[in-house]
Amino acid sequence: MPQYYRPTTRADALAALAEAGERGRPLVGGTDLLVGLRHHTLEPELLVDLKGVTDLPEPIAVTEDGVRIGATYTLGELVAHPVVQEWYPALVEAALTVGSVAIRNRASLVANSCNASPAADTAPPLLVHGARVTIASLHGDRTASLDEFFLGPRRTLCGPGELVTRIDLPRPAPGSGSAFRRLTRRRGVDLATVSVAAGVGADGWLVLGMGAVGPRPLRAESPGPVELTDAAALDGALDQLLAVATPISDVRGSREYRLATLRVLAARAVLAAADRRNPREMAS
Amino acid sequence: MTTSDHLVDDALQTVTLTVNGSERTVAVPAHRTLLDGLRDEVGLPGTKSCCAEGECGACTVLLDGKAVNSCLVLCVEAEGHEVTTVEGLSADGLTDLQEEFLNAGAVQCGFCIPGQVVAAEYLLRTNPSPDEAEIREALSGNLCRCAGYQRIVRAVQATAERRGAAR
């Protein structure tokens, strides 16, 4: 059974995690961790609760260049933030599909990324929005793109003795749009069978984030602008972008079903994202 | 680790929290959930234990005013925080929301109802005039095996109207 430690400083948290090594786990929302403890799929000897740490990055900071989100910022807070809603609509759509209201009131965006489920709902939009993570240890801070950060199922660059202290999201380019689409068996409290986030640039440049179709959340970018009003052109672009997907068959869907629905959802996400470009023009 | 006073192991840890307005002190192992602490240590069995993994919502309580699954919170995490259980929604008798659950015939076997009521109370406090879609979304984490969803939604709508009329 684990010990529980609630440090008040980042230095104490990092020291405790460094000492515990593989046997230590940071705790924020606990919405995955406690399930793992109950089923003994996770058996840490030390839980380091970060919610009492006073010198971690602030929960959210908005600048001209983007948004920084701290380790303790919950999905419930995220979806209610007006700047996040305006700049990162795909992320808000995705976060709103996570669990339920009660789960989102506890679950943290940063911890959701660290958990590195291949089906994590917030991962595809974070990949689309170009998220970077800051990883802290006793030896200092380093940063990585989220695409580099995800190594495999439940595996990330954040190793023993380390903490992800924040996620940085650059401000989307002017005239771009984003959207998220997901397939589940039921509306509330289920994991994605397939999920896709799309970003569309002003010129038709495409980026996709994909969940539950590979060992980790996947990102793919078009080599150039795509003429979205040309169905054949979009089809060809999707052929290339979706080629990275290697879904498996499991209780939520077969490999074939996932590949078929991925394509449909990706096309819908791209068109929805394209519609969100230049919202001022559309409103007039 | 420098502050060993916050470090506990299998030995019991003393946790002081506010439950339904009263300060309570319980002694629990670190892995004990808030759900089990409330039921077994504080002696408030209204909060129900069902899936114990955040799927069903039967254990919903308010933690510092926010709806959470108490099965996914460690009791030690609640140190210094305020918890409201279904027993604490009113000082005496039923709340208007609970009355409307009865009026609507929303209570069948009743097992999910404490969680439904706490989740619905949280919705109405944060959004006093929810539409049907908002009610269904707010309660999507609360499963009812009797499938009494229509009447549960109606009870929440009736409460919102009743509170709106009283304002």
**A177-183 and A194-200 strand pairing:** antiparallel
Q: Do B3 and A12 touch, CB atoms closer than 8 A?
A: yes
**What pLDDT band is residue A284 in, cutting at 50, 70 and 90?**
very low
Q: Which of B6, B72, B140 sits opposite A5 (nearest CB)?
A: B6
Q: Do A122 and A211 touch, CB atoms closer than 8 A?
A: no
Residue B60 and residue A102: Cβ atoms within 8 Å?
yes
pLDDT at A221: 97
Whole-angstrom Cα distance, residue A137 to residue A133?
A: 13
pLDDT at A190: 73
pLDDT above 90: residue A45: yes
Whole-angstrom Cα distance, residue B10 to residue A66?
A: 44
Q: Where in chain B is the domain with CATH 1.10.150.120?
A: 96-166
Average pLDDT of span B15-43 = 97
pLDDT at A186: 73
Burial class of B147 by CB neighbour count within 10 A (0 to 12, 13 to 18, 19+): exposed
Task: Enumerate helices (H) and strands (E) in chain B, giving the number of each.
Answer: 5, 5
Average pLDDT of span A37-52 = 95
Q: How far is CA B150 from CA A155, B42, B54, B104, B105, in A?
A: 42, 34, 23, 9, 10
Residue B10 tokens, joined? 């299998």
Average pLDDT of span A252-268 = 95
Residue with tokens 């919405």, as numbered in its chain: A31
Residue B76 and residue A38: Cβ atoms within 8 Å?
no
Q: Where in chain B is the domain with CATH 3.10.20.30?
A: 7-88
pLDDT at B91: 83
Closest chain B residue to A10 measured between Cα atoms?
B1
Residue A102 and residue B119: Cβ atoms within 8 Å?
yes
**What pLDDT band is residue A282 in, cutting at 50, 70 and 90?**
very low
* pLDDT higher at B117 or B4: B117
CATH fold group of domain B7-88: Ubiquitin-like (UB roll) (3.10.20)
Three-class secondary structure of residue B160 per DSSP = helix
For the segment A117-149, what is each residue's pLDDT rounded down to a tens digit?
Answer: 999 999 999 999 999 999 999 999 999 999 999
Average pLDDT, chain B: 94
Average pLDDT of span A57-64 = 96
Q: State the nearest Cα–Cα gap between A224 and chain B, in angstroms.
A: 39
Q: Do B30 and B8 touch, CB atoms closer than 8 A?
A: yes
Average pLDDT of span B27-52 = 97
Average pLDDT of span B110-127 = 98
pLDDT above 90: residue B10: no
Whole-angstrom Cα distance, residue B89 to residue B117?
A: 9
pLDDT at A279: 58
For the segment A61-79, what is each residue's pLDDT rounded down to a tens digit?
Answer: 999 999 999 999 999 999 9
Q: Do B96 and B159 touch, CB atoms closer than 8 A?
A: yes
Average pLDDT of span A20-24 = 97
Average pLDDT of span B29-46 = 97
Average pLDDT of span A192-212 = 96
Maximum distance among all Cα pairs of chain A, rounded to whole angstroms: 60
Q: State the nearest Cα–Cα gap between B57 and chain A, in angstroms.
A: 8
**What pLDDT band is residue A227 in, cutting at 50, 70 and 90?**
very high
Q: How far is CA A41 from CA A212, A218, B47, B56, in A?
A: 20, 25, 26, 21
Closest chain A residue to B75 measured between Cα atoms?
A4
Instruction: Choose from A51, A186, A189 for mutation: most chain B CBs within 10 A.
Output: A189
C-alpha torsion B58→B79→A71→B32, nearest 10: -50
Q: Which of B30, B56, B122 sits opposite A4 (nearest CB)?
A: B30
**What pLDDT band is residue B7 in, cutting at 50, 70 and 90?**
low
pLDDT above 90: residue B158: yes
pLDDT at B6: 53
Residue A3 and residue B9: Cβ atoms within 8 Å?
yes
pLDDT at A187: 66
Q: What are phi and psi of B24, to 5 degrees?
A: -130, 145
Q: Which of B8, B63, B119 sits opposite A4 (nearest CB)?
A: B8
pLDDT above 80: residue A281: no
pLDDT above 50: residue B104: yes
For the segment A159-201, what is each residue's pLDDT rounded down to a tens digit?
Answer: 999 999 999 999 999 999 999 999 988 766 678 899 999 999 9
Whole-angstrom Cα distance, residue A60 to residue B59?
A: 30
**B52 conformational bin, left if phi > 0, alpha if psi -120 to 50, beta if neither:** left
pLDDT above 80: residue B32: yes
Q: How far is CA A174 from CA A128, A170, A202, A276, in A?
A: 15, 12, 7, 11
Cβ neighbours of A80 in B, within 8 Å: none
Residue A6 and residue B6: Cβ atoms within 8 Å?
yes
Q: How far is CA B124 from CA A106, A107, A222, B66, B88, in A?
A: 19, 22, 45, 12, 16
pLDDT above 70: residue B58: yes
Across-strand partners of B19? B22, B83
User: Would you tell me which residues 72-131 of chain B have a C-beta closer than 8 angstroms to some C-beta of chain A?
Assistant: 72-74, 76-77, 79, 119, 122-123
Residue B67 and residue A101: Cβ atoms within 8 Å?
yes
CATH code of B96-166, in short, is: 1.10.150.120
pLDDT at A117: 93
pLDDT above 50: residue B23: yes
Residue A244 makes CB contacts below 8 A (sequence gap 6+) with A210, A214, A218, A220
Question: pTM above the 0.90 mark?
Answer: yes
ipTM, 2 decimals?
Answer: 0.93
Residue A172 tokens, joined? 């989307």
Q: Do A266 and A238 touch, CB atoms closer than 8 A?
A: yes
Across-strand partners of A179? A198
